[in-house]
Chain A
Amino acid sequence: MNADKDKSIFISDQEILSLISAWKSQVGRDPSNDELARIINNLVDEEILYREALLLGLDQEDTIIKRRLAQKISFLKEESILEIPSAKELNKYYENNKDKYFIESSFTFTHYYFSENNNSLERSQQALKALQENSTFKSDPFYLGKAFANEPYRNIESNFGIEFATNFINLAPQKWSKPIRSTYGHHIVYINSINPGYIPEIEEVLRQVEVDFLQMKREQAVKGFLNNIRSEYTIFINPDLKF
């Protein structure tokens, strides 16, 4: 069906034929003349209502409709990106986005754990003292064990909770820490070594760079389209809006 600026509605043969075949697959025979007229009239009614709704701006009021249409055109633009990126393009992209590939610090450490079920603060303080005096003490087994190797900071936050992680990051290595609290009780921690965070060579993260590069290209396709067309629009905003 073709919409003209005037109030003409053109219905193609193909549209009618496809309606007839839909009818046939449901009912099992050709429609009679009356039935065919009704099918076509329904189609016309629908088109008229649709156009009148557009004229009344009913589509304008609905954020969901807007958002979906915007999403659809974005997908159309994104899907036109298919070619394989060259090494040069990837290198350039990598140089400009190095920060994204920062490999975070990881830690090798051990700890003594004191369960919050049993007076954890006091016991951990006594334990620290005992450690310094080389005497013995009793700690509790921690759920995930005692020794951790090359644990990224993210895992430490996930395994011990944010409060622990925040204090952990400030600890001096090669030294028993003061008791620090986790979701599960108190810990005294000894950091053996830290692999400091670093920016890797592109070879190390090539695949991720490729994936990100293509994603960026897809987003650019939409942005490029927007930038081209944006100049045709004038945007008015009330500068005195208060809220």
Chain B
Amino acid sequence: MKSIFIKLLIALPVIYIALFAGLWSSVTDSRPVLSILDMMRSDSATEIIDFSSDEEKSSKPKPKPNKDRNPYYGDLHVHTKHSFDAYIFGVTATPNDAYRYAKGDGIMHPMGYEMKLQEPLDFYSVTDHGFFMGMLNAWSDTTTDISQKDFAKPFHDLNRIENLTTESAGPRSALFSEILGGTVTQTYSDLSPNVLKAWLTKNTQAALKSFDYKIHKSAWEDVARAANEHNDPGHFTTFIGYEFTTSTNIEGGNLHRNVIFNSSKAPIRPWTRIDSINPEDLWTWQDKLRDKGVDTVSIPHNPNGSNGQMFEMETFYSDPINREYAEKRMRNEPLVEVTQVKGTSETHPLLSPDDEWADFEIMDVRVGSRPPTFSRPYGSYVREAYLNGLTLEFTKQGNPYKFGLIGSSDTHTGAGAFDESNYWSKVGILDGDPENRGSSPLTQENIQRMDDYMRAFNQPRSTVSLEQGEYANTGFTQWGASGLAAVWAEENTRDSIFKAFKRKETFATTGTRIAVRFFGGYNLSSIDLNSEMLVSQAYQNGVTMGSDLVGDGDKAPEFIVWAQRDKNGAPLQRVQIIKGWSDASGRGHEKVFDVVCSDGLQVDPVTNRCPDNGAKVNINDCSITKNVGSAELKASWVDPEFDNETKSFYYARVLENPTCRWSTWDAISRGFKPREDLHDTIQERAWSSPIWYIPPASDVDVVPLGGTVRMINLST
């Protein structure tokens, strides 16, 4: 008996050492024999939990599903107090508060005023940052064990009363950058049991001193539970979700994505940048979850702040893109968030010099950069990505950029600000009033304060002298009241809306509730545009947004577009179709066609532009010209420059009459004139997902990467 005991005692350290040997070898050596040790490890990130409470018993009457599909509007990008930065921004709203807001209740902004929607939304997803989820709360709460560790110290100060004010904006921004910069990510010593445990459960974050797994899981559970509690099939849909917040290593190019789950089931913890900063590993994880019956989509946002790295022509580690990469990317991220508070990423004036509407809500810096650093437009905008996708396809590398479009807010207050005339931006007390977001002049005291902070944190001067005084110039002026995700779905349920995400039958708006239908096919011109059967026949005879239209001999495709105004917004001004194509050498081109104009005006066939409809904005009171513009615009269209051998894509853009921008509303409601260096007005808009034209069997075969180009004539 005694000897067994002694043997056990000796065995324990041996096992311990053996495990560390395994850890060491798996980190430093990848030979298959040694990787047998990997079998000892479990994967904590693919352990599935069903977060739903009991079965829904409601017998509430549900509106009948519409086979011609309804437009539903939502926001898939919302942060609450569980996000590390929302907490720094003074936000205390919970996921529960966020869902109440989406359903129409008023909730409080950190600065004390009420935020309320003019009209409730149809669907919503709280997507807190996955990494360090729930941690900030714990660090600053001095009753937790983890708050007693030294890295948590600066966060105690967050709760000191003198820091809970707008004056704390400077240090708060500094803390934000510090977390992103990784200074709180010290690990335990190499021989610590925590490190071993982290390795055995493939849970790297557990090796961090700043991390408490229990608190992290309970924050994630709160996010998932709130989503399930508020889901109301037929009336209001929620999705479990979170943000995978990663960026490129050196340049800090934004690679953030939101991950949206299709059901009440989700893994026990989110996969985060601590697991890997490479989005390709996120897709691998999504693939694994899908094998276990949990489907997800990840949605990149703010490509505009990626310094050209969201839509690269190579992989994360600079390998050439191949078909496998393209398929994996498209399988996991069928959508991109094209517009949100931090600017719009459709295109840039440098990329689309012939598009008069390209200079729209441009944010020209990298996300979270301090000091603000220019973000390269090339590789950062969706229209160009569509073109580059065609080029990659031309070189037989597959097209990883065949995504659909949505908008969302990225609010950090739990509540998206979609209305130009009632705007609170998104980062709580940093931009919660007009002075701080740069739309009304600073008081003398605040000028001094901003100067002091910028000096204390070694940042460039952040005010600008203009006609009416000194203004904050911290970048918030490039942000805006945008945007919404919209889908075409049979009914307002998780299943129906998630399927719409997957088939890319989606459109994006800048916060307005414009609706747009878009069809392509070869037999659409036979449909009477004034028939009640228009939509069902279009579905029958054509394809809709997000789909491929395969070539049919030399027939030119016909398109039908039908847009309806937002009843609370401005009337419509015009509908455009944007075409992109790749020429015989694989190079991309683009062209904007106006296809239908308001007030019965006709498109000029030479310029492809509508005449001016005369709609104006009075900048003194933001009133707009009455009785100009249309409630709906409808047209069928055939591409006058169609070539049946050219790969191309087409998407619709719908423009409202101009209205005041939030910065103008802010200024006039406080008795100032709008800033002379900002746009006074904007044209709210919607973008459909594209329809891709795939030529019939191509006679051009191109070997990628410096190989030879073979021309085969299939007809002989």
Contact indicator A64/B60 (Cβ below 8 Å): no
Closest residue on chain A to residue B54 by CB atoms: A207
Residues of B within 8 A of A53 (CB): 162
Chain B window 522-555, contacts with chain A (Cβ cutoff 8 Å), 1 for yes, 0 for no: 0000000011111100000000000000000000
Closest residue on chain A to residue B96 by CB atoms: A215
Which of B146-154, B188-196, B376-384, B434-442 forms part of the interface with chain A?
A: B146-154
Residues of A within 8 A of B71 (CB): 144
User: Does chain B have a CB within 8 A of A148?
Assistant: yes
Alpha-carbon gap, A101 to B269, bound state (A): 35
| Known pairs A71-B92, A143-B562; A203 contacts B57 (CB<8 A) | yes
Alpha-carbon gap, A140 to B535, bound state (A): 12
User: Does chain A have a CB within 8 A of B32?
Assistant: no
Closest residue on chain A to residue B528 by CB atoms: A141
Interface centre among A63, A146, A150 (most CB of B within 10 A): A150
Alpha-carbon gap, A207 to B409, bound state (A): 29
Which of B61-69, B323-331, B444-452, B470-478 forms part of the interface with chain A?
A: B61-69
| Known pairs A64-B166, A116-B631, A211-B229; A152 contacts B63 (CB<8 A) | yes
Closest residue on chain B to residue A20 by CB atoms: B150
A97 to chain B, nearest CB (A): 16
User: Does chain B have a CB within 8 A of A25?
Assistant: yes
Contact indicator A184/B632 (Cβ below 8 Å): yes
Q: Within residues 136 to 183 of chain A, which ones have a CB less than 8 A from any CB in chain B?
A: 138-141, 143-146, 148-152, 154-155, 158, 160-161, 182-183
Closest residue on chain B to residue A24 by CB atoms: B150
Chain A window 46-85, contacts with chain B (Cβ cutoff 8 Å), 1 for yes, 0 for no: 0000100100000100111101110110010000000000
Contact indicator A141/B57 (Cβ below 8 Å): no
Contact indicator B567/A183 (Cβ below 8 Å): yes
Residues of B within 8 A of A183 (CB): 565, 567, 631
Contact-residue bracket for chain A: 35 or more
User: Does chain A have a CB within 8 A of B630?
Assistant: yes
Alpha-carbon gap, A205 to B630, bound state (A): 42
Closest residue on chain A to residue B631 by CB atoms: A184
* Cβ 8 A contact of A68, one of B148, B161, B567: B161
Q: Within residues 627 to 654 of chain B, which ones have a CB less than 8 A from any CB in chain A?
A: 630-632
User: Does chain A have a CB within 8 A of B564?
Assistant: yes
Contact indicator B92/A75 (Cβ below 8 Å): yes
Contact indicator A138/B530 (Cβ below 8 Å): yes
Residue ranges of A at the interface with B (Cβ–Cβ < 8 Å): 18-19, 21-22, 24-25, 50, 53, 59, 62-65, 67-69, 71-72, 75, 103, 106, 115-117, 138-141, 143-146, 148-152, 154-155, 158, 160-161, 182-185, 195, 200, 203-207, 210-211, 215
Given contacts A64-B111, A117-B632, A143-B517, 12 further A-B contacts (CB under 8 A): A22-B153, A64-B165, A65-B164, A71-B92, A103-B60, A149-B63, A151-B63, A155-B63, A184-B564, A184-B631, A204-B59, A207-B54
- Report 15 cross-chain contacts, Cβ distance below 8 Å, ordered by A residue: A18-B150, A25-B150, A50-B162, A53-B162, A65-B164, A65-B165, A67-B112, A117-B631, A141-B530, A141-B531, A144-B70, A150-B61, A161-B567, A184-B631, A205-B58
Give the top 5 A-B pairs by smallest Cβ distance, nearest first.
A149-B64, A183-B567, A21-B150, A68-B164, A161-B567
